[in-house]
């Protein structure tokens, strides 16, 4: 079969029609609330073409039929379409704010045998929660060992099963690990050939779990800080508002919410918070 054209002068391996894109967009919106407008057609093709090939198909229409029937392949398609870019210490001002304004009181609580709970929502491959822990542990191995004996836990959740497996492994390319500040990298990251491995003391503090932010949440306890960054940009306004309200419900009074640099609180949710920094909000005590 001759190649069809997805964009001007760009041949494609598989037949991919606008109707196929519309069907996939509807599937992803229903499953994850993510918007994939027609302008994302090239992205969708690039993410799913390897799956079409792996399934031995030649048309996206046939692949759509397959994911309608096959739960395993449906999960693989969703993983491919929802895995997003991240990096260590991304939007570093959030980590600076946390360490300056949230951490001192939380550290004191831990020293008094209290507990601290932090949620990294949409944690992707783990760089965000690991960055936070390395910042808390600091440059002294002894301080990390002290904190490892306390009731400090971070929950890292994501929709993608595959990306969570990578997060649990805590292994990254040397290029990826280079964005960790050297004083922290020298203590909490070990080189293993052409990869960098996060220290077990750091990895053990994070519980990685699969979670769809739009479905029910199993967590019963409240969080002292929630990082939910650069995921709401893919949602429509109604979905953003519902999610932000639920995040506020899950946050302790006085706790901090960190969102992405291009994200904003909905008008109905904003009164529940005080803005205390760039895309940084503190929940108002009730």
Q: Please give the annotated binding residues, written as ranges.
A: 84, 86, 90, 128, 158, 212-213, 229-230
Concatenating the DSSP letter of every residue in the chain gives: -PPEEEETTEEESSB--HHHHHHHHHHHHHHH-----GGGHHHHHHHHHHHHHHTT-SBHHHHHHHHHH-HHHHHHHHHHHH-----TT-SHHHHHHIIIIIHHHHHHHHHTT-EEEEEEET-TTTHHHHHHHHHHHTT-HHHHHHHHTSEEEEEEEES-HHHHHHHHHTEEEHHHHTTS-HHHHHHHEEEETTEEEE-HHHHTTEEEEE--TTS-----S-EEEEEE-SSGGGS-HHHHHHHHHHHHHTEEEEEEEEE-TT----TTTGGGEEEEETTEEEEPP-
Please list the active-site residues: 47, 158
* Binding residue numbers for S-adenosyl-L-methionine: 84, 86, 90, 128, 158, 212-213, 229-230
């Amino acid at each position: 079969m001759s190649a069809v054209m997805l964009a001007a002068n760009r041949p494609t391996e598989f037949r991919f029609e606008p109707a196929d894109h519309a069907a996939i967009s509807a599937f992803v919106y229903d499953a994850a609330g993510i918007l994939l407008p027609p302008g994302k057609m090239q992205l969708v093709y690039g993410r799913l073409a390897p799956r079409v090939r792996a399934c031995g198909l030649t048309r996206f229409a046939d692949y759509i039929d397959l994911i309608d029937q096959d739960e395993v392949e449906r999960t693989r398609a969703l993983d491919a379409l929802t895995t997003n870019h991240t990096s260590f210490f991304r939007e570093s001002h959030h980590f600076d704010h946390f360490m300056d304004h949230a951490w001192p009181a939380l550290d004191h609580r831990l020293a008094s045998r209290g507990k601290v709970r932090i949620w990294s929502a949409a944690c992707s491959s783990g760089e965000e929660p690991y960055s936070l822990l390395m910042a808390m542990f600091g440059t002294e191995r002894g301080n990390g060992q002290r904190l490892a004996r306390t009731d400090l836990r971070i929950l890292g959740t994501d929709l993608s099963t595959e990306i969570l497996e990578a997060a649990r492994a805590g292994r990254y390319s040397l290029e990826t690990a280079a964005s960790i500040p050297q004083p922290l990298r020298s203590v909490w990251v070990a080189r293993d050939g052409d990869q960098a491995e996060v220290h077990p003391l750091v990895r053990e503090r994070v519980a990685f779990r699969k979670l769809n932010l739009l479905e029910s949440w199993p967590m019963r306890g409240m969080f002292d800080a929630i990082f939910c960054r650069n995921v709401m940009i893919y949602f429509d306004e109604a979905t953003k508002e519902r999610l932000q309200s639920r995040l506020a419900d899950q946050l302790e009074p006085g706790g901090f919410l960190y969102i992405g640099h291009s994200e904003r609180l909905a008008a109905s949710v904003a009164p529940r918070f005080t803005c205390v920094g760039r895309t940084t909000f503190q929940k108002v005590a009730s």
